[in-house]
Structure 1
Amino acid sequence: MASELRVLGPVELQVDGRLVEVGHARQRCVLAVLLVEANRVVTMEQLLDRVWADRLPHKARPVASNYVSRLRRVLTPADDVAVVRRGGGYVLEVDPEAVDLHRFRRLVEQARGSEDPQALALLEEAVGLWRGEPFAGLETPWLAAVRTNLERERVAARLDRVDVALRCGRHTEVLPELFALADQDDLDERVAAQFMLALHNAGRTADALVHYRRLRARLIEQLGTEPGTALQDLHQRILDTDPALTPPTSGTAAKPQDPVPQQLPAPPRWFTGRGTELARLDQALATQPGQDPPSSDTGSEAQAAATVVISAIGGAGGIGKTWLALTWSHRHLDRFPDGQLFVDLRGFSPDSEPMPPTTAVRGFLHALGADPGRIPVDPQAQAALYRSLVTHKRMLIVLDNAADAAQAAPLLPGGDSCTVLVTSRKTLTGLITRHGAHHLTLDTLGDDAARALLTRRLGAARVAAEPDAVAELVGLCGGFPLALGIIAGRAYAHPDVPLAEFAADLRGLGVDALEDDDPATSLPTVLSWSFRALTTQQQIAFGLLGMVPGPDVSLPAAASLTGLSLPRTTRVLRDLQEASLLNRDTHGRYSMHDLIRHYATDTAHRLPQDVRESALRRAVDFYLHTAHTGDHLLDPRRHPLSLDSPALGSHPRPLPDPSAALAWFDTEHPCLLAAQHTATTHRWHQAVWQLAWTLNTFHTRQGHCHDHLTVWKAAQAAADHLPDPAARAMAHRLLGDAYAFLGQHDEAIEHLHQSLALAEQHHDHTNQALAHRTLARAWERQGDDRRALEHATHALDISRTLDDPVSEARMLNNVGWFTARLGDSDQARDHCRAALALFHRHDDPIGEAAAYDSLGYIEHHAGHHEQAIPHYQHALTLYRDHNDTFEVANSLDGLGHPHAALGQHDQARAMWREALELYRDQGRTDDAARIQRQLDALATHPQSLPTSGVDR
């Protein structure tokens, strides 16, 4: 037939094997209604009721007419199907044989009037038309009612087929199906009768009698009744070995043939996204060792006959492994004409041990029609028989929820014609290395796919009505399909509850908000199954990693946290990674999905308090001591702190050179901030202050102004609990400096005066000089250069009493700078040249850079633009050599002005554009805005450019 319209699964229209796109979900609902009523009039009132029920859209009739018109447009005369207007409604005119639903009903009806062999063939064809849940993905009350009735029809046809098959002597073939049916409904007496009869005729009379006794006990316990007369009579006839129960071996008996098992569960209704992963599975199926992948026009037979492909789909519990495997499998059923085998290996089950491979093999043998009387007793012989039965067959074998490679390996088929999909929460290294498995690690869904999942479940209108709540739900679920499914299911069950309420629950409760009575749909329970499979050491490490400061962790930091050696930590982290509870990126850093981390933290709180605190102290000491080493490499002239020894089991990282130190600070910066927060929470005041101190050089050189303020706020509060007045003075001074830079002048002056008062009270001349120097910078940012010069002069006078030539040089340069800003270029030049000489003599390249920068400013403002340029260039070279990007931006800004004054606009533009990018990266919005104005002026009115650059 040219056209094939399907509703016994997803609603589809195919023409000569080509899928015709019929639009979005609501338009498919319209098509579904017309298909169910094919060749019968559907009035407008019926259409509106069946598609929208009591939620009619605005101008419902025109909307419905528009949907029908769109449907007409996708149908052509060649499709042998048309929608026509008739009798106040619409009719879908189509050959009933082209619609799977009507063909199914015709086959079932025809089978009831046929001899057994023909009836069996008709019923098998009818049952084979089903491809999952009818109208999959569509939700209306009318379709739900039709779906329920159709399911009853399917079950009836399936049981009719079993009855006929039993009369034809094919009891062995139907036994696996009856095993499943009996498990699904253990009180269905018709199924029980079929199961008992099949067992009896397969030579397993004892099993048939045991099943009867169990059923009878359940009926009495649950319903207070005995089995029905028919089942009791069958039981007695089996006891009497009634020969009439045995079907004839000739005449009406059907010719024995290999069964075609169809064990796949229905495809997931809400599957969304995963296009990349589905494509990778397609590629794995199509690729044969030593050959090029088949071309796109290769027939399905050639593609299905590929070498065994084992796609071990890893990923944490709830990440969607089984959904992906089933979706891919159902999309490619035509490639496996010899059937599909499916088994849940229960590798991470809450209520049972993993299924032994021998049990799975026996189930497969039954499904493949192996004669029960000829199945060998020895497990290895059973596995060999299984492999023999599937050799040369084009079958799909899905091994779901494998505990490890050892459980899955015995179930791999012989030959090269089958395809195998294995899902597991572990990386099945044994399958990958010994059996050449194609490994596919499943990650979380992206934001777009997550939003699409919610839209499919809840409808576009509800999702569009609360965009902020949807965005928050997507973010909190972090792309975890099970989490999204739980939230979507609850929201669907409560259509009147705003999505914002579900977001608030998830925000407040974290993973606990995803608890559910059904263990299979409860994220905490699903994660607990993985947790219970860990060793004690792995469980402790998992919990502690949930508490680690920062968003991720390096191997050395993890070793300090756990207190294990580096080799042992490597093994534990690898085990957690293989269990899909931990991720490792390409840079060797480890992290957890937010929901898994929340669960890990919950498990950590079951550990003794001293174990948790000791672990965090080791981690904080790792960051503190490594940062102290790094800070000394970045600024060797800075007086080092006197640190206590790190906690036992902490492994601070040695850093070989300044470049390695800067790279470490860049990478670990979020973790260092989190480590200080951890120390603050535990009132480890000394560590809080010391961590701020070790971050100071990195923060100032890299322009982390807001982080600089945050860490010194914490450090100043902690310093109040310390006995050292110098620590308190320094904390107030550096906090004041951070406030000043961010334009919060009053707060800056308050803290700087407190710093100066503490230093004077304790006769601390070093901190007095530094406090005056910082006050000078604060007043400069307020535009009061004269008051700034007064403080800079005080700082210089004090520094000359300290026998510290580098400190004196810094103060000289500051005095020179402010003198220049007040217009005295000659005196400013003398001060800055003297500072440069001291810096050079005492090997302080950052100091030299500052002096050169000041000299560039002086020469430019003195009108000596050609002399200013090399000074700025010297400063830039030194700042770049020491990765001081904060001052690089300032010097670039300054260098642009003499270039502009000389008419060298291209050079000025290049300097300012680079400075602009650095200012933006550093969050220096005022400086960025000023540079942008300079660039704009350079493009339009270069003569109006300001003559000065950034404040220092």
Structure 2
Amino acid sequence: MDADLWFTVLGPIRAWRGGSELDLGTPQQRKLLASLLLREGSQISVRELSNMLWGSATPDTATAVIRTYVARLRRELDGSPIRRQDSVIATVQGGYRLVNRPDSFDLAMFRREVSTAEEASKARDPRRAAEHLRTALALWHDEPLAGLLGEHASAERARLELLRLGALSRWFELELELGSHTAIIPELTQLVGQHPLDEHLHELLMLALYRSGRQAQALAIYRNVQEVLAEELGVDPGPDLQRMYGRILQADPDLLATTAEAGTLDNAEEDHEPEPAHTVTVVDRAPDIMGQHPTAPTRLPPRLTVFAGRSRELAAAREMLADPDTRPGTVVVSGMAGVGKTTFAVHWARQIAQHFPDGQFYLNLRGFAPDDDPVDALKAVRTVLEILGLRPGSVPDDLDAAVALYRGVLAERRVLLLLDNARLAAQVRPLLPDSSGSLAVVTSRNRLAGLQILDGARSILLEPLPAAQARELLVRRIGGQRVADEPEVVQEIIDRCGRLPLALSIVAARCATHAQFTLDAATTALRGDLGLARIATSLDALSLYEAYDCDVDPRHVFSWSYRTLSPPAARLFRLAALHPGPDMSIAALASLTGLSRQPTLSHLAELSNAHLLIESAPGRYEFHDLLRAYADELKQRLDPPEEQQQAQLRMLDHYVHSTIAALRQYNDLEPISEAPVLRPAVAVEAFCDRDAALRWYETESPVLMAVAHQARMQDHLEHVWHLAWATDTYHYRSGRGRNAAVMHTWALEAAEYLDRSLWQGISHRFLGDVHADLGSFTESVMHIEAALAIFDTHHDVKRRADCYLTLARVARRQGDGRESIAHLKRAAEIGQHHGDQLLVATALNNMGEQYGDIGEHDTAVKLCREALDLWTELDDQHALANCYDTLGHSVFHLGEHEQAFKYLQYAIDTFQDLGDKGNQANSLSRLGDACAAHGDNAAAIAAWSNAFTILKSLDEADPGELETKLRRAGTYGGVVQ
């Protein structure tokens, strides 16, 4: 390894050789280097790298892209265009590792200094220990991995921040031991503000203040953290912090000593027992039926010691109650099974309980209980009244009379009702208090929209936890050290549990109560790698963990929602599991069931209301991963294989024919005659114009890739071929060449298996085009030659001419202008011979482009004007834009600057309208070049910047040339970027 290399991750990811900083490339490439660095010399597999870079959206080309990133990093880090045997990045079986020395990496040096500090502490040399920690902390320049995005980077950043916080905390302890209490107060105060829930930091600050003669401020710190912990977590300060408070309150002189006693400042965790129920005496407002000592006890469930996350939802809940004039009387907390509705509602209810002194009640309405025996309204009213002190038997048997008595007893009282697990609005409505000072908090798996519409209720929707909060839940249940030690394993647990609190809690409980059950073992089970034939999903493993407790078995919990569905909605839920995702349209779901749009909408409303499907955007629906697994199990058990097969084929027909309909609008082409026959009861999308087709392509693009892959795996090969053909234009214009390469490779396999010779030729020709665009010229020529041979056999002269167009592109990209022109002339001759104006126009325009490349701009302009006349007659907007782009480039070189600007701007605007981002960026780059040559540096930078932004949004584009132009403009043009 180069002895002059130096890497940093304790701030932005950077590297230097000697005194010169190295260019680490794109954010994704820097993220790959960061992943290698953070392994600190250990191997990292390609699969792990793929997950770190793309997560669940890993492309099929991930391995090739990673290989490209590694090659670029090697060139930069090794300082050589040719790979060296002693490269900094070594290839190991199945992955890579970074060969770096400990003194070449800031994190390694940080660890070394911290370790040395620990040794000095053990040797009872606090001054030397503090110096080494000061050196370690000086290596931090910003938040770690600054500028890197994504969940993996966030997880690593959190892990590194914990290391820094631990070092800082220990440094403060040592400074206190050395008597530097006054000096550290400003920095310690700032750190406490950044970590308001860290009790140990508060404890250190209190001690520093007390030793500095500021006893009152030290006590104020305690009262403040006490309020914050109660508000945010519903807990009291821990025993160490309480002990520090008590000693300061008593002015303990031993605290003034500057040699810390062993264990005095150790941070310990303690679970707190729930506070005893508190009762409040209330005025007897119904003396004839009330008992002698009516009370309003606190009947809420015990305080939760492991509540995590939900800060956004808690803030929204607090805001609802902030203004007395707009405060709702009812709040509905809804969400899917296992998302933590009851946990959230209990936590919030305990936070606000003091505002309701006349009673706080919890009632489980059992709306989704497995025995299907929900609590009716009369029974619930009777329960509350008896808790309030009414004599047994004094509540009328008539519901209306009982409700009237109930509301009379509650009149002018301030009570909190937590109505858990409601199924219907009608079950809840009689229990809603009339008093403006009371509040009913209702939890339900259904949305209970009727309470919002008719009763003015407000709604809080709970979704699966964000990744950071899911990690926080695991930290609180199994400890921060275990989570910090295995960040990748923890992330996989979070992903496989779908960030669902119930599932995460099951895994955490298993790990916490079985010391031998490691986090890695948990992921093995969740992957379905236990070696048991029936274990195939995360759902299996979660059910296996808690086989004897139905209340926490996800299958049973989900079943309580499923059993409430109407039969058609239940069938839609099951068949939707046939869809590969990531999301589903109404038309796709209607095709699966074979129903028309209106009943499908009705069933979707039922599923969405029950939170069994998520309406992620208007008209788009998603599964939670565990619910998908549950629906798939039900489908396999309840729906005959032939019905599943027909549903699958209807869905594939929907996508093939909808894609062809979009292509007809998007590219003014008619579908080929061999399109598959449309089955009955298939919903096909209709598009009014090109913009509507483009929007559909953009929305469905990831779905179409998933559908094609699924069709390939299930041998629906005609659908695979047609999906590849009908998405080619969109993939080309949107800069998704690698997607096109994958689709056409699948299509070629399908055509070969089906023994469809012409289809094979078309797929070869498409692959030739794609590889030409991607710079894989050998592969391009190979496919074009195969296509030419097939088209010769079929005497298909027109398609042979298309092959010459591709060969011309390859020759042009390789710098052989004359060879390119020769191919284009052959294509033009074929077009003229067969009266094919489109082919002639394409060849002429491409020749104009080629002549412009070799500097013969007069010839280029002449050819382009001929092509322009033909394109105008054909009314092909995309081709016209290409033609104007070529014209603009050439007429500028002939001195017609204003005309060139007009041509290029027309091309830019048209490409933007058509969604062709790659060509739009190319025209913007040319416009920038023209502006720079014209002396307008500001306009050049604006055009180049727009082009750079577009190319950065395309995974396969290389914006390096534009970056160089912008850097030069900023350096030499006097313009600050």
Normalised by the length of structure 2, the TM-score is 0.69
Worse overlay, 876-885 or 902-911: 876-885
Please name the residue that 1:699 is paired with.
Answer: 731
Higher alpha-carbon Rg: 1
SS state of the match for residue 679, structure 2? Answer: coil
Aligned partner of 1:738 in structure 2 is: 770
Any residues of structure 2 matched to 1:275-674 within 5 Å, and which? 275-288=311-324, 291=325, 309-508=329-528, 509-515=537-543, 516-517=546-547, 518-606=549-637, 607-637=639-669, 640-674=672-706
Please say if residues 667 and 729 of structure 2, whose CA atoms lie closer than 8 Å, have aligned partners that are also in contact. Answer: yes
Q: Equivalents in 2 of 1:89, 1:665: separation in Å? A: 67
The aligned counterpart of 1:781 is: 813
Deviation, structure 1 residue 526: 0.9
Contact 2:306 2:477 in 1 (8 A): yes
What is the distance in 2 between the residues matched to 1:554 and 1:677?
18
Provide the secondary structure at the position in 1 that maps to 2:663. helix
Distance 1:91 1:804, change over 3 A: closer
Deviation at 1:733, TM superposition (A): 0.7
* Higher deviation after alignment, 573-582 or 519-528: 519-528
Contact conserved, 2:335 with 2:444, CA < 8 A, in 1?
yes
Q: Residues 185-264 of structure 1 correspond to what in structure 2 (within 5 A)?
A: 256-264=292-300
Superposition pairs for residues 12-23 of structure 1, below 5 Å? none
Cα 1:734/1:942, change in 2 over 3 Å: farther
* 1:401 match: secondary structure: strand
Of 794, 798, 804 in structure 2, the residue corresponding to residue 762 of structure 1 is 794
- DSSP-derived class of the 2:561 partner: helix
Aligned counterparts of 1:69 and 1:274: Cα–Cα separation in 2 = 27
Structure 2 partner of 1:716: 748
CA distance change for structure 1 residues 469 and 365 in 2, over 3 Å: closer, same or farther? Answer: same
User: Which string of whole-angstrom CA distances, capped at 9 and with x for unpartnered residues, describes residues 459-500 of structure 1?
Assistant: 222211112222222333333111221121122123454423
Q: Is the 8 A contact 2:203 2:244 kept in 1?
A: no
- The residue aligned with 1:897 is 929
TM-superposed deviation, 1:770: 0.6
Identity level (%): 34
Q: In 2, distance between residues paired with 1:893 and 1:781?
A: 18
CA 1:814 to 1:139, structure 2 compared with 1: closer, same or farther past 3 Å? same
Query: Which sits farther off after the overlay, 456-465 or 679-688?
Result: 679-688
State the match for 2:32 in structure 1.
none
Distance 2:625 2:603 in 1: 20
Q: Any idea what the Cα deviations from partners look like across 1:75-126, whole Å, max 9, x if unmatched?
A: 696x56869569999999xxxxxxxxxxxxxxxxxxxxxxxxxxxxxxxxxx
- Aligned partner of residue 920 in structure 2, secondary structure: helix
| CA separation of 1:940 and 1:393: change in aligned 2, threshold 3 A | closer
Q: 1:875 aligns with which of 904, 907, 914?
A: 907
Give the drift of 1:656. 0.6
Query: Kindly tell me: are residues 720 and 412 of structure 1, through their superposed partners in 2, closer, same or farther at Cα, counting changes over 3 Å?
Result: same
CA distance in 2, matches of 1:377, 1:860: 92
What is residue 938 of structure 1 aligned with on the other side? 969
Match of 2:828 in 1: 796
Q: Distance in 2 between matches of 1:407 and 1:292?
A: 25
8 Å CA contact 2:414–2:435 kept in 1: the answer is no
What corresponds to 1:915 in structure 2? 947
Q: Hey, what's the Cα distance between the residues in 2 that align with 1:69 and 1:654?
A: 68
Structure 2 counterpart of 1:405, one-letter code: A
Deviation at 1:817, TM superposition (A): 2.6
Query: The residue matched to 1:720 in structure 2 has which SS?
Result: helix
User: Partner letter of residue 930 of structure 1?
Assistant: E
Cα-to-partner distance string for 1:588-627 (whole Å, 9 max, x where unaligned): 3222222222222222222212222222222222222222
Distance 1:366 1:292, change over 3 A: closer
CA contact (8 A) 1:285 1:419 kept: no
Q: 1:527 to 1:684 in 2, by over 3 A?
A: same
| Contact 2:735–2:957 (8 Å) recurs in 1 | no
Unaligned ranges ≥5, structure 2: 1-194, 206-237, 280-286, 529-536
Q: Which amino acid aligns with 2:556?
A: T
Give the aligned length.
729
Contact 2:199 2:241 in 1 (8 A): no
* Conserved 8 A contact 1:726-1:764: no
Partner of 2:853: 821
CA change 1:448–1:22 in 2 (3 A) is closer
Asked if the contact 1:391–1:415 (Cα under 8 Å) also holds between the matched residues in 2, the reply is: yes
Look up the match of 2:104: none
In the superposition, relative to structure 1, how do residues 896 and 26 fare at CA in structure 2: closer, same or farther (>3 Å)? closer
Residue 278 of structure 1 aligns with an amino acid whose one-letter code is L
Deviations 1:208-243, CA, capped at 9 Å, x for gaps: xxxxxxxxxxxxxxxxxxxxxxxxxxxxxxxxxxxx
CA contact (8 A) 1:285 1:309 kept: no
User: Are the structure 2 counterparts of residues 499 and 373 from structure 1 closer, same or farther at C-alpha, using a change threshold of 3 Å?
Assistant: closer
Q: Which deviates more, 811-820 or 697-706?
A: 811-820
1:795 counterpart letter in structure 2:
A
Partners of 2:581 and 2:706 within 8 A in 1 = yes
> 1:892, 1:501 → 2: CA distance?
53
The one-letter amino acid paired with 1:890 is N
| 1:133-161 C-alpha deviation (Å, 9 max, x unpaired) | xxxx9856xx79xx6xx99xx89xx9xx9
Distance in 2 between residues matched to 1:933 and 1:641, nearest whole Å: 48
- How far apart are the structure 1 equivalents of 2:818 and 2:260? 90
1:927-947 residue CA offsets vs partner (Å, 9 max, x unmatched): x1011112223334579xxxx
Which sits farther off after the overlay, 831-840 or 852-861?
852-861
Task: Give the alignment of 1:43-82 within 5 angstroms.
Answer: 79=249
* TM-score normalised according to structure 1 size: 0.70
CA contact (8 A) 1:25 1:138 kept: no
> 1:740, 1:748 within 8 Å by CA — same for their partners in 2?
yes
Q: SS of the residue aligned with 1:311?
A: strand
Q: Which amino acid aligns with 1:512?
A: D
| Secondary structure of residue in 2 paired with 1:260 | strand
Unaligned stretches of 5+ residues in structure 1 = 1-20, 32-66, 93-136, 162-172, 174-253, 294-307, 944-952
What residue is the counterpart of 1:226 in the other structure? Answer: none
- Aligned-pair distance for 1:323? 0.6
Q: How far apart are 1:823 and its partner, in Å? A: 4.2
Q: How far did 1:377 drift?
A: 4.3
Name the amino acid aligned to 2:497.
C
Q: After TM superposition, give the deviation of residue 895 of structure 1 in Å.
A: 2.5
- Corresponding position: 1:267 with 2:295: no
CA distance in structure 2 between the partners assigned to 1:635 and 1:603 by the alignment: 42
| CA shift in 2, pair 1:396/1:637, >3 Å | closer
Aligned letter for 2:760? R
Q: How far apart are residue 808 of structure 1 and its match? A: 1.0
Paired amino acid for 2:606: D
Q: Rate the CA distance shift 1:495–1:931 in 2: closer, same or farther, 3 A.
A: same
Alpha-carbon distance between aligned partners in 1 of 2:922 and 2:204, rounded to the nearest angstrom: 66
Given that 1:543 and 1:604 are in contact with CA atoms closer than 8 Å, whether structure 2 keeps it comes out as: yes
Distance 1:683 1:279 in 2: 51
Offset at residue 266 of structure 1 (A): 0.8
